A = this chain, B = another copy of it.
Amino acid sequence: MPRPPKFGEDQIMDAAMRLVAEGGPNAATVAGIAGALGAPVGSIYHRFKSRDLLLARLWIRTVKRFQVGFLRALEADDLDEAALGAALYNVEWTRRHVDEARVLLLYRREDLAERWPEELGEELAALNTDVERAVRDHVLRRYGEGGGAEAVRRVVFALVDVPYAAGRRHLVNGEPPPLLVDELVTQTLQRVLFDRPET
C-alpha cells in the first residue's frame, strides 16, 4: 500500500561514491548527492539518518566488496599462489573499479565520516577481524608459530601495502593501473615473501 521508493539506498550511495571519487569527501554534500540523482534532500534523510551515516555505510559497502575476492584468493591451497593471488587481486580490483578504489584508497575512513556513527562500531570491527584472521592464518602457514609481529608486518606489506602503493599513483590520475604494476608487485613478493635468504 505504500508509495514505491524512487531512490534506493544503493542508488544514493552510488551517487555519493561518484562525488567522492571525483572531488573528495567534501564534494559529497547532501545537496550535491541529491542533485546528482534529481532527488530532493529530504529523500536522502529518509534513508539515512545523517550524512556521516551515509558515508560510513558507503565505506563499509566498499570495503566488503573489495574483501570478498581478497579473502577468497588467500584461501588457495598453495601458499605462494595464495599470497600472489591476493596481492594481484588487489591490483585487479583497483583496475576494474576505479571509482570505488578511489574512495577506498585515496581517503581514510576518518576523512569520509568525520565522526563515525557509534551504531556502526561493531560492523566496523567485524570488517577488520575477518581480514586479520585470514592474514594471521597465512602467517601461521608460512612461518609457523615463530613468526611474531614482524612476520605479520611482512605479509601485510607484501599483500596490501605494495599493491596499494603500486596502484595509487594511477588512481590519482583517475586511470586504472597498467600491467607493469602486476609485474612489480609479483617481483616484490618473490623477494619479500618467497625467498628465504640466510641474512
Residues in chain A within 8 A of chain B (CB atoms): 24, 26, 106-108, 110-111, 114, 150, 153-154, 156-157, 161-162, 164-166, 168-169, 172, 178, 180-181, 184, 187-188, 190-192
Contact = CB atoms under 8 A, between A and B. Distances in A.
Nearest to A153: B180
The oligomer's copy count stands at 2
Contacts of A106: 108
B161 A188 contact: no
Contact of A150 (B164, B166, B180, B191): B180
Contact of A162 (B111, B154, B180, B188): B188
Contact of A26 (B114, B165, B168, B192): B114
B157 A161 contact: no
